[in-house]
Structure formats: C-alpha cells, structure tokens
Amino acid sequence: MLWATRISNIRLYQYHRPFFTVPHNFRTKLNFSSLSQPQGFCYLDEDCDDFLPWLEQKAGAKISSVLSIGKSAFGRSLFASKSIQTGDCILKVPYSVQITPDNLLPEIKSLLGDEVGNIAKLAIIILCEQKIRQKSEWAPYISRLPQPGEMHNTIFWSQDELEMIRQSSVYQETINQKSQTENDYLAIKRALRHDPEILGDITYEGFMHACSLDFLNHDGATEAIVLSDEDKQDSEVIADRDYGPGEEVLIRYGKFSNATLMLDFGFSLPYNIHDQVQVHFNVPHHDLLREMKIDLLQRHRTPPIKDVNGFNSSSESFTIKLVLILVS
C-alpha cells in the first residue's frame, strides 16, 4: 500500500512501488525464473490469516472476497480463493488505507526541502512507523515487509557482483540510483539534525532498504494494472483473464525490460516481451560532423528511459527493442 503519486481521474497508476502489501517473488541474483505456478500449487500462509480482515476493518470496506494469502516456491503471494472471471474486481483499496507522502508527519514535512522526492518521503514514513513498532497503527503491515536479506535489487549487490554486469546499462543505472539515494539520505540527515529524536539512529542502509520495498507479483504479459479513481477515492485491480481456485493472481508493474526489473525489483523474466537493450555512444567534440550526428540521433532515438524511481537514462543512449525470430 505504498503510493508515491496519484494522477487524474480514472487513470493508470504511475507505478513507483508494487500495489499490495504482499512481498513479491524474491529471486537469486540473475536467476531467470517463471512467475506462474500450477493451479492449486499454493498453501495458505497462517502468519497472514489476520491481515486482510485487519485491512478491511481499517478501511471500513471490503478489500477482496476472492483472494487469499499463500506461499509459492518464490515466497508469499496472492492467490484466487475461488473462481475469478475476466472483468471481475480482484482488489479494491480505499485511499484512506494507502500510505502516501501526505502521511508524512507535519513536523518532518516542514523540515524537508524540495530536493527530497516522494520515494524518500515514503521511506521516512516507513522508518517512523518501524521505530514505534507495535504502537504503530500500521503494525500488521509494517511487520510483514520484506527484510533486508530478502531484497535483491542491484543497489544491494556487492562491488564484485556488480562487476559481473559492468558492460550492461544496469551497472551505470545502479550507480546513479545509489548516488540519488545517498543524496536523499544526506539531505534528510541535514534537515533532521536539530531534532534527532524524530528518527533516532537512521542509517544509510536502513534508509536504502525502506526506499526499495516492493510487493505483489509481476507478470509482464498481463493487462491487469492498478486503476485509481479520484471520484470514488479508491484504487482497484480488474482481472484480465479467468482464474481458477488456487492460481496465483498477478499484475503488471509496467512494460519494463529485464534491466529495469533487476534494477528496481531484483528479478528478471525468462521470456520478457518488453525486453530491450540500450546502446551507448560518444560523439567526440572534435568530430566535424558532431552537430549533424547528434541531431540525427536526437530525432530518431526513443525518448529517455525513466525507471520507476524517476531516474532518467543517459542522454547519450538509445534503445532497441529485443526482437526474437524463431526458425523452425
């Protein structure tokens, strides 16, 4: 239920974090694994029996009557508890139980400058709630968030591990993201230095973890996405296909390549229809045709890639969609 932004009436959600409160499939670094599981594969997660009832009580509304929380080979997941038909509402979450930057304590908000973005503000909210533990009104949610050891985003990789992908665009994007996260952390530390009791001994590692939390499970081929309605003041997911009891329910985070999925979520897909590669180039300043070349590249390249955290790819790059040709 972490939300960084909302956009106009009945529109696609501008994704910054996966939608619901169930940790997504965690995978070993660079492990290509299928997201789908056989029907009836799951078994119920007894640790989460009280979660949906708690959320519905907090929301004062029905969240879902067709979902249950279970476990698959990849961890905690959402499954169909009964048959779901195409077009059915799978999940409906009122704005009142979505954590957004607006939930930031006023005394903290007044201290932060404009350079601190929404992801960093959401991280602060999580850290504040974690600090007060069971006293938090969000304790049932906070206690079920992924732990640091369960996060496989590339920003958590060691330098030796990053060396394995040095030739990939993910390497530089990871460096950029770590730099942005560190800048946000230092800005927050400066802003809160006169009132250390607010967050106490906040660490860079803890802040980085809070910035990277994510949930639910992704399928790049599904058309099920999060829709938000300002008039109804809620967000919902509509089934794009039929589900039988016991099938894992998936949504699409966005039309992301494996590079972006590994960077921001710590997993990749074996057959990603949205996969692409970035080609970097450098036109020397002494090149007599430099201006002409840059003009041609600017006119014919795809727009700069922006990942879910809002970081732009290099302007000295263009993107090629991966095209696979099967020869029989």
CA 152/CA 132 separation, integer angstroms: 27
Most distant pair of Cα atoms in the chain: their distance: 68
Whether 286 and 316 map to the same domain: the answer is yes
Whether 39 and 69 map to the same domain: the answer is yes
Q: Determine, yes or no, domain membership for 1.
A: no
Instruction: Check which CATH number belongs to the domain holding 204 and give it.
Output: 3.90.1410.10
Q: What is the DSSP letter of 314?
A: P
Strands 317-321 and 89-94: unpaired
Q: Determine, yes or no, domain membership for 7.
A: no
Residue 86's pLDDT band (boundaries 50, 70, 90)? very high
Q: Determine, yes or no, domain membership for 30.
A: yes
Whether 310 and 178 map to the same domain: the answer is no
Instruction: Check which CATH number belongs to the domain holding 40 and give it.
Output: 2.170.270
Whether 128 and 140 map to the same domain: the answer is yes
Whether 168 and 307 map to the same domain: the answer is no
Whether 240 and 178 map to the same domain: the answer is no
φ/ψ of 47, rounded to 5, equals -65, -20
At 268 the pLDDT is: 86
User: Cβ neighbours of residue 245 under 8 Å, at least 6 residues apart?
Assistant: 39, 40, 80, 81, 82, 83
For the segment 259-285, the average pLDDT, to the nearest whole number, is 82
Q: Convert the pLDDT of each residue in 207-239 to its tens digit.
A: 999 998 865 677 878 888 888 888 889 999 999
Q: Determine, yes or no, domain membership for 131.
A: yes
CA 170/CA 259 separation, integer angstroms: 6
Q: Determine, yes or no, domain membership for 205.
A: yes
Check if the beta carbon of residue 58 is closer than 8 Å to that of residue 256: no
AA identity, residue 193: R
**Domain ranges, residue 175:** 109-211
Q: Please check the confidence at residue 191 and state whether its pLDDT lies above 60.
A: yes
At 1 the pLDDT is: 53
For the record, the structure tokens of 299 come out as: 């006119």
At 324 the pLDDT is: 53
Q: Please check the confidence at residue 21 and state whether its pLDDT lies above 90.
A: no
Q: Determine, yes or no, domain membership for 220.
A: yes
Q: Determine, yes or no, domain membership for 222.
A: yes
End-to-end CA distance of the chain: 46
Among 62, 38, 42, 44, CA closest to 52: 62
Would the pTM count as exceeding 0.75? no
Based on DSSP, count helices (H) and strands (E) in the chain, helices before strands: 9, 9
- The percentage of the chain sitting over the pLDDT mark of 70, rounded to a whole number, equals 75
What's the whole-number average pLDDT of the chain?
77
Residue 303's pLDDT band (boundaries 50, 70, 90)? low
* 43-58 b/e (C-beta count within 10 Å ≥ 16 → b): eebeebeebbeebeeb
Whether 197 and 65 map to the same domain: the answer is no
Strand order in the sheet with 89-94: 11-12, 226-229, 234-238, 89-94
At 205 the pLDDT is: 92
Give Cα 321 to chain centroid, integer Å: 22
Whether 283 and 258 map to the same domain: the answer is no
Domain-ending residue, one of 211, 231, 246: 211
At 163 the pLDDT is: 95
Whether 166 and 314 map to the same domain: the answer is no
Q: Please check the confidence at residue 308 and state whether its pLDDT lies above 60.
A: no
Whether 143 and 184 map to the same domain: the answer is yes
Q: Convert the pLDDT of each residue in 52-79 to its tens digit.
A: 888 899 999 888 889 888 887 767 788 9
What angle in degrees, to the nearest 10, is found between the helix axes of 118-132 and 204-211? 110
Q: Determine, yes or no, domain membership for 9.
A: no
Number of domains, the chain: 3
Check if the beta carbon of residue 289 is closer than 8 Å to that of residue 253: no
Residue 304's pLDDT band (boundaries 50, 70, 90)? low
Whether 61 and 130 map to the same domain: the answer is no
Whether 81 and 141 map to the same domain: the answer is no
CA 46/CA 231 separation, integer angstroms: 36
CA 219/CA 212 separation, integer angstroms: 19
Q: How far is CA 261 from CA 45, 100, 274, 287, 301, in A?
A: 26, 23, 11, 37, 22
